Structure 1
Amino acid sequence: MCKIVIFGNSGSGKSTLARKLASKYELAHFDLDEIAWKNTNPPTRQPLEQSSVKIDGFMNDNTVWVIEGCYSDLIEYVMGYADKAIFLNLSIEDCIDNAKKRPWEPHKYPSKHAQDENLSMLLDWIKDYESRTDTFSLASHQALYDSFAGEKVIYRLNINE
């Protein structure tokens, strides 16, 4: 079996690595961004129960998978089913550089222009990773990594190059 969970800061390369692993090993790919938020302005989080139901559906439909995201609360739920955890713990500078080079993400933004208009907020978000104490923080990701009993690895180098 191969069930991989990938987590880290915004811009750390989670989606890029997940797509590469999914393609190479024929794994189903699930981006938690697609189910974590309500379609509201400003965006608000889905209740964890609703997100968990969607995760369960994905895992029931797929025997091998890679799931990625920055949401420690959702990642913690997934880790109970994962064989391997990958923590992308890149420098803030690498994450910022990756975010600036990010191609249009149509599942998140209606246009490349709309995505680019959000870039300054995203860069500020990335910069706060080490000082935040929420579900998106370095501290919460480190705790997830430390508590995972299966195979695990931390990458500290930029895998997008």
Structure 2
Amino acid sequence: MSKVVIFGNSGSGKSTLAKQLALHDDLAHLDLDTIAWKPTTPPERLPITESSTLLYDFLITHNNWVIEGCYADLLALVIEQADEIIFLNLPVSSCIKNAKARPWEPHKYESKAAQDANLAMLVNWISQYADRADTFSKVAHEKLYHDFKGKKRMHFSNK
């Protein structure tokens, strides 16, 4: 396994799994959150052209990688280069539980308090997964999974 794409709802365990694979298989790790947003409050998406440039820069720099995120639009740009995809298709209740137990993510938040202040919004966001029809939705992730012709796995729990 040298090029892996992991996707699913917020709180599904994408970052945790990606970190484990990166460490175990010596893969470069890209969390798409780091290239998808402007550093503004409230958050605003970068134009897809800017995010895609950053994504391609990562691909040029690394031969072996794991890329994870919930952005079907960005994942579509790289998925055909993957050796394997992993869809973390957990129940919404599990994603909410994971989000509430999530350790501080210093690459996303200036403090644990700032992260916790965002928790209610995140839980609401997670709960809308099956109802949305956007790039972050279950339907968009199911399409990515269905259309991919290579090696793929779907997990319904973090076990």
**Percent of aligned positions that are identical:** 57
1:101 CA drift (Å):
0.5
Rounded to whole Å, the distance in 1 between the matches of 2:107 and 2:21 is: 20
Letter in 2 for 1:150: G
Which residue pairs with 2:127 in the alignment? 127
Q: Deviations 1:113-155 (Å, cap 9, x if unpaired)? A: 0000000110000000000111000000000000111110100
Rounded to whole Å, the distance in 2 between the matches of 1:49 and 1:151 is: 28
Rounded to whole Å, the distance in 1 between the matches of 2:14 and 2:51 is: 19
Rounded to whole Å, the distance in 2 between the matches of 1:122 and 1:8 is: 14
1:80 CA drift (Å):
2.1
Rounded to whole Å, the distance in 2 between the matches of 1:134 and 1:36 is: 15
Rounded to whole Å, the distance in 1 between the matches of 2:26 and 2:91 is: 30
Q: Deviations 1:19-67 (Å, cap 9, x if unpaired)? A: 0000000000000000100112211111111111111111111110000
Moved over 2 A (4+): none
Structure 1 vs Structure 2 CA RMSD: 0.9
Rounded to whole Å, the distance in 1 between the matches of 2:132 and 2:91 is: 15
Which residue pairs with 2:8 in the alignment? 8
Which residue pairs with 1:39 in the alignment? 39
Which residue pairs with 2:117 in the alignment? 117
Rounded to whole Å, the distance in 1 between the matches of 2:108 and 2:22 is: 20
TM-score, structure 1 as length reference: 0.96
**Structure 1: runs of 5+ lacking an equivalent:** none
Rounded to whole Å, the distance in 1 between the matches of 2:42 and 2:113 is: 18
SS in 2 for 1:80: helix
Rounded to whole Å, the distance in 2 between the matches of 1:33 and 1:99 is: 15
Aligned residue pairs total 159
Rounded to whole Å, the distance in 2 between the matches of 1:78 and 1:31 is: 13
Letter in 2 for 1:109: Y
Letter in 2 for 1:72: A
Q: Deviations 1:61-89 (Å, cap 9, x if unpaired)? A: 11100000000000111102111110000
Rounded to whole Å, the distance in 1 between the matches of 2:40 and 2:134 is: 21
Rounded to whole Å, the distance in 2 between the matches of 1:38 and 1:23 is: 28
